[in-house]
Amino acid sequence: MAEQKTSQFKVPAIPLGKNKAQHIDTELSNKSTPHETEAEPPTTTTTTAQDSLLTTEPDKTTEPDKTTEPDKTTEPDKTTKSDEMTKSDKTTKPDETTRDNKEEKEVTLQHKSIENIPPLPYTVPHWSALPTESYFLSVIKTGTVVDEISLSDKPFLVFGRLPSCDVQLEHPSLSRYHAVLQYRPLTPNEESESQSGGTSLPGGAGRETGYYVYDLGSTHGTYVNKSQVSARCYVRLRVGQMVKFGGSSRIFLLEVSA
């Protein structure tokens, strides 16, 4: 009796178990499918996280805003350049004023130098006149002619160390006003007087027409053909004769063009 009860219990359990298993499997499959579909959102969340990371990466690109800070620093550079320009302008203005002051000083010095130049200690004689012939002086140094000075433009020439002299010589042995080379013409009245035996003119100037050397009381003297002449006296200088002043090595030879 007991064996029959167990068999009766097992036989109906088999179909019931299969149905239940199938039902359970379907339920599990149905439940598994929503889980699989629900697993998809995390992918979306990861993508959104990546997207968020990608979107945050441009935040790193905001670092160029730091580069904009040097632009702010460059603006002071512009101001400093402008300041430097203004400073340089301020510095140049004093330079211009100093230049103007220097020019004014130079002009005043020139005026003072002109004022300080002593007067020529020579009285031009009344018989002074331009030469009637083309005389000139050949300037000789160390045996060679280095220059020629025309004598046709003025009745006399002043030799000395000052720049106001007609012939300026820089040798230290020369005086400021050293000597004068004076032309002496012969007037018709003087020709008649010379025929009647008239005397020479004041200062020792003879009646002969031509050039005369007049030393102005120089310290180191004037020489005609190596002979020192007397101070403040007219000494005849003929064509072909040489005159030398002080210790200068330059020799002046009187010549006339044919």
- How many other C-beta atoms are found inside a 10 Å radius of the C-beta of residue 181? 25
Whether 209 is covered by a domain: the verdict is yes
* Residue 129: both structure tokens together: 């006149």
Label residue 82 by pLDDT band (50, 70, 90): low
What pLDDT is recorded for position 258?
79
pLDDT in tens, 27-67: 555 555 444 444 455 554 445 544 544 444 545 545 545 54
Note the pLDDT of residue 186: 80
202 within a domain of the structure (yes/no): yes
Quick check: 19 pLDDT over 50?
Answer: yes
Q: Which residues does residue 191 pair with via DSSP β-bridges, in sequence order?
A: none
On whether the CB atoms of residues 177 and 122 are closer than 8 A, the answer is yes
For residue 95, being part of any structural domain is answered with no
Please say if the pLDDT value at position 24 is more than 80. no
Residue 145 belongs to some domain of the structure: yes
Q: Which of 127, 177, 140, 185 is nearest to 157 (CA)?
A: 177
Which residues span the domain enclosing 152? 135-256
Sheet holding 135-141, edge to edge: 144-150, 135-141, 251-256, 242-245, 222-224, 227-228
pTM of the model: 0.54
Please report, as a single letter, which amino acid is at residue 44: T
The answer to the question of residue 243 being in a domain is yes
The more confidently predicted of residues 176 and 27 is 176
pLDDT digits (tens, 9 = 90+) for 154-169: 999 999 999 999 999 9
Tell me if 89 is assigned to some domain: no
Write the pLDDT tens digit of every residue in 124-138. 999 999 999 999 999
Cα separation, 178 vs 231, in Å, equals 10
pLDDT at 223 over 80: yes
- Examine residue 12 and state whether it is found in any structural domain, yes or no: no
Encode pLDDT of 136-153 as tens digits: 999 999 999 999 999 999
In a domain, 211, yes or no: yes
Name the burial class of residue 64, with classes exposed (0-12), middle (13-18) and buried (19+) by CB atoms within 10 angstroms of its CB: exposed
pLDDT for res 199:
42
How many domains would you assign to the chain? 1
Instruction: Using the predicted structure, report yes or no on whether residue 118 has a pLDDT greater than 90.
Output: yes
Q: Give the per-residue pLDDT at 207.
A: 76
Confidence of residue 188 (pLDDT cuts 50, 70, 90): low
CATH number at residue 147: 2.60.200.20
Please tell me the predicted confidence (pLDDT) of residue 116: 83
pLDDT of residue 72: 52
CA distances (Å), origin 42, targets 47, 56, 99, 134, 152: 8, 20, 86, 126, 123
